[in-house]
Amino acid sequence: MLRVYNTYIHIPFCEKKCNYCDFTSFKISEDSSKKYINYLLKEIELYKKKYDLGQIQDSIYFGGGTPSLLSVEDLKKILDKFYYDEKTEITIEVNPKTVDKNKLKAYKELGINRLSIGVQSFNEKFLQLLGRIHNSKEAIKVYEEAREVGFKNISLDLMFSLP
């Protein structure tokens, strides 16, 4: 029997809550993120056996919230709790306003090999309506920089049928 090992890690922090968002998220602070990471690391240890976290993972997905608000060091601490190899798909959701070329390079060095960019729209009016913190030029720039640093697997979150 083929076993698949996938892990989703919710990072509940945002710079600001978007108008449409229903997910659990909070404004990030240094204190809250440190506490959250410490408890998350403890919880991973508690559940390692029960959920086969001791096996090589097929995928590890950092969702949110805005996981790209975490430091690369915190992401490394979390990834160090898992077994993965070059075949493991490791995804992080990013907001275009919260990453730059250096952070994207650091993600690659960490082993992250898939980006999910929360663009939502390339229309400035819709971005404002949605309460997004980035503009369309920043979204395009992040996509181009991700390609430049070597990301081949990139998804863009886009919303349609907006009023």
Domain span at 102: 6-158
User: How do residues 11-38 score in pLDDT, each as one tens digit?
Assistant: 999 998 888 888 888 888 889 999 999 9
Confirm whether 163 is domain-assigned.
no
Q: What is the mean pLDDT of the chain?
A: 93
- Residue 109 vs residue 55, higher pLDDT: 109
Confirm whether 64 is domain-assigned.
yes
Which three-class secondary structure state does DSSP give residue 57?
A: coil
Confirm whether 152 is domain-assigned.
yes
Instruction: Report yes or no: 155 and 114 within 8 Å, Cβ to Cβ.
Output: yes
The single-letter code of the amino acid at 115 is L
Minimum mean pLDDT range among 9-18, 22-31, 118-127, 140-149: 22-31
The number of distinct structural domains making up the chain is: 1
Confirm whether 56 is domain-assigned.
yes
* Helix (H) or strand (E) segment spanning residue 137: helix 136-148
Confirm whether 1 is domain-assigned.
no
* Span 125-141, average pLDDT: 96
Q: What's the pTM value of the predicted model, to 2 decimals?
A: 0.93
* CATH classification of the domain holding 51: 3.20.20.70
Which three-class secondary structure state does DSSP give residue 100?
A: coil
Confirm whether 26 is domain-assigned.
yes
Percentage above 90 pLDDT, the chain = 78
User: How do residues 52-74 score in pLDDT, each as one tens digit?
Assistant: 777 899 999 999 999 999 999 99
